[in-house]
């Protein structure tokens, strides 16, 4: 199996409603773990990965991007920072990215696939990259199949149509880099897996966006299939514990790289953070 190197990229802070982020878990409980602001929102991050192997560069996730009005930035607390900023800090230009993989196509994951040019025109952020997404997710995004208005946006999707390489189910993308379906948040949600020098890493996307979402019932109100989220999460956590995977959590504002252990007292799992450099 090929061994990749990875760099964790911080593509910018934002915020979402705490009640929506924790679904059926009452505020009286979740607020003990993360304090909401005056608008009941909690702080989040857009964590992305730069993977490198033999001169090839792959980006996992793209964050919110830069196509937001002042009003939208205020509502979502979107930091004036993008994945392009983070890539520049490690000496990589968007044109050097060969492949982009997104777990799904909601705006906080796919927004950075396109950008506003100097005259307000839409440009491809990664002009030389193919984009990997599940066929189910691509079809649902184009059909705006969601209970949420404004999460699948034409400005993120239409310009990339001829760059998308849809896959069906579990697939090997290149050199041991692979995706697997993780339904729950959306029907076509996928996780990304690869090996580095220390073993297997899984990027589970919005299956488990922060460390506080490890519990059985701790899933988002945004999930299209909440019960499927529970089942998928249990499967991924069990494999991670038994096979000693590390997980990298997409919206964790603290330490996003974690290892998974079984918590016998709760017949479930717990997460222990590790420390890696952040960019």
Q: Give the tens place of pLDDT for each residue, 41-97.
A: 999 999 999 999 999 999 999 999 999 999 999 999 999 999 999 999 999 999 999
For residue 278, tell me if it sits in a domain.
no
**168-172 contacts, C-beta under 8 A, 24 or more apart:** 168/134, 168/135, 168/136, 169/134
pLDDT recorded at residue 118:
86
Residue-number span of the structural domain to which 186 is assigned: 5-273
Instruction: Tell me: pLDDT of 212 over 60.
Output: yes
pLDDT recorded at residue 150:
84
Which spans in 126-207 are helix H? 135-142, 154-157
Q: Cα separation of 65 and 107, whole Å? A: 8
For residue 45, tell me if it sits in a domain.
yes
CATH number at 20 reads: 3.60.15.10
Contact status, residue 107 vs residue 35, Cβ threshold 8 Å? no
For residue 248, tell me if it sits in a domain.
yes
Instruction: Tell me: pLDDT of 176 over 80.
Output: yes
Q: Cα separation of 205 and 219, whole Å? A: 12
Confidence of residue 14 (pLDDT cuts 50, 70, 90): very high
DSSP state of 3: -
pLDDT recorded at residue 276:
65
For residue 14, tell me if it sits in a domain.
yes
Distances (CA, A) of 215 to 169, 198, 212, 262: 26, 26, 7, 12
For residue 279, tell me if it sits in a domain.
no
Contact status, residue 259 vs residue 213, Cβ threshold 8 Å? no
Q: Cα separation of 159 and 257, whole Å? A: 32
Element at 226 (helix H, strand E):
helix 226-243
Question: pLDDT tens digit string along 253-265?
Answer: 999 999 999 999 9
pTM: 0.96
The domain total for the chain is 1
Strand 164-167 with 171-174, pairing: unpaired
Nearest 5°: CA angle at 49, between 7 and 133?
155
Percent residues over pLDDT 90 in the chain: 93
Instruction: Tell me: pLDDT of 279 over 60.
Output: no
Residue written as token pair 């929102």: 41
pLDDT recorded at residue 119:
87
3-state secondary structure of 217: coil
3-state secondary structure of 150: coil
């Amino acid at each position: 199996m090929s061994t990749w190197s990875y760099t964790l990229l911080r593509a910018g802070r934002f915020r979402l409603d705490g009640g929506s982020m924790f679904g059926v878990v009452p505020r009286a409980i979740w607020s003990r773990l993360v304090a909401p602001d005056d608008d009941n929102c909690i702080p989040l991050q857009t964590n992305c990965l730069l993977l490198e192997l033999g001169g090839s560069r792959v980006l996992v996730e793209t964050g919110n991007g830069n196509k937001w009005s002042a009003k939208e930035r205020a509502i979502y607390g979107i930091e004036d920072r993008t994945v392009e900023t983070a890539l520049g800090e490690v000496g990589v230009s968007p044109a050097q990215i060969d492949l982009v993989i997104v777990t799904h196509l909601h705006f906080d994951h796919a927004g950075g696939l396109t950008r506003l040019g100097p005259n307000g025109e839409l440009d491809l952020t990664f002009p030389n990259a193919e984009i990997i997404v599940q066929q189910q997710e691509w079809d649902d995004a184009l059909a705006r199949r969601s209970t949420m208005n404004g999460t699948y946006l034409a400005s993120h999707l239409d310009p990339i149509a001829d760059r998308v390489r849809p896959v069906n189910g579990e697939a090997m993308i290149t050199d041991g880099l692979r995706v697997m379906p993780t339904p729950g948040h959306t029907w076509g949600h996928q996780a990304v897996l690869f090996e580095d020098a220390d073993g297997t890493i899984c990027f589970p996307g919005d299956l488990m966006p922060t460390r506080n979402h490890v519990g059985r019932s701790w899933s988002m109100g945004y999930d299209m299939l909440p019960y499927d989220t529970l089942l998928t999460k249990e499967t991924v956590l069990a494999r991670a514990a038994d096979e000693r995977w590390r997980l990298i959590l997409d919206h964790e504002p603290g330490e996003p790289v974690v290892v998974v252990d079984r918590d016998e007292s709760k017949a479930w799992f717990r997460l222990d953070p590790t420390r890696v450099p952040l960019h």
